[in-house]
Amino acid sequence: MKRIRDFLQDNALMVSGMLLMLASAGVDGKFLSMWMSDGMGWMGYILNLVSDASGYVMSNAYGRLQNDDDERKHNLSKVLLVGEFINIAYSWLFSYLVLRDRFMTFFTRPIFGNLTVELEVLAFVSAGFVPLSLVFLGYADSLNKTKPKRRRANVTKAVSNLPKLDKLPDKEADVLTVANATRATQAQQAIKDLLTFYADSPMATQAEAGMAVSRSRQWVSSKLAELETEGAIRRNGHGVELVIM
């Protein structure tokens, strides 16, 4: 049960997109199935799902490529963007034709005086809901998945800018030297954990940060001051901000 709950929490946007695709298949897919030959009505539902799914997938891939540091992937994302516009135009137009006919049957009285114009506008606006929603959900999901990776990368860069510690001494070194080096390594790890915590929670208090890294608030305050002096972080009205050089 916990795995299912965790999956839904991590993939809420994707699940919402899938439900929206199924709802769209019940309307547009049914209409499209009427165009198929006898015994091939199911193909209409498949075609509609493919069209909706491609909108979600392309916008998701576009967001992932845009958030990548590789310049070639940025250029590839532009090609996806063109394909996305074509797919939106197709889905929007087809949904408009479906909804216009259905609205003409369902609505019989005008609101502002001209029923035909009102239904044309209503059908056009309503037709864009599903394709635009799927594009938004796909792009938002890509940001939701790529931001944690970028934060971890930023932490790695920030830590790499800190003064390097000497490696642990070899086996012939005395016990005191090994213990000192071990404590130094643990302190370096604690600083990395502190930066990771503030990358995810820049507005957190020093007490909250101390609890997260199993250190005292005084230790957090001291290390933040050192990191700010070294230029690894910046403290302003937006909390603790990592400085990536």
Q: Give the tens place of pLDDT for each residue, 62-115.
A: 888 887 777 788 788 888 888 888 888 888 887 888 788 778 888 877 777 788
The whole-angstrom separation of Cα 238 and Cα 203 is: 7
Tokens encoding 17:
């997109």
Tokens encoding 170:
């070899």
- Per-residue pLDDT, 161: 59
Q: Does this model's pTM top 0.75?
A: no
- Per-residue pLDDT, 152: 60
- Per-residue pLDDT, 178: 46
Q: Give the tens place of pLDDT for each residue, 138-147.
A: 888 887 777 6
- Per-residue pLDDT, 53: 84
At 132, which helix (H) or strand (E)? helix 129-160
Better pLDDT: 53 or 48: 53
Residue pair 68/57 in contact (Cβ under 8 Å)? The answer is no
- Tell me whether residue 218 is exposed, middle or buried, using C-beta atoms within 10 angstroms of its C-beta: 0 to 12, 13 to 18, 19 or more: exposed
Q: Do strands 239-242 and 233-236 pair parallel, antiparallel, or not at all (unpaired)?
A: antiparallel
Q: In order of start, what are the domains of the chain with their CATH numbers?
A: 2-144 (no CATH), 161-242 (1.10.10.10)
Confidence tier at 158 by pLDDT (50, 70, 90): low
CA 134 remoteness from chain centre: 13
Better pLDDT: 207 or 160: 207
Tokens encoding 79:
């090609």
Better pLDDT: 172 or 202: 202
Conformational region of residue 42, where left means phi above 0, alpha means psi within -120 to 50, and beta covers everything else: alpha
Confidence tier at 8 by pLDDT (50, 70, 90): low
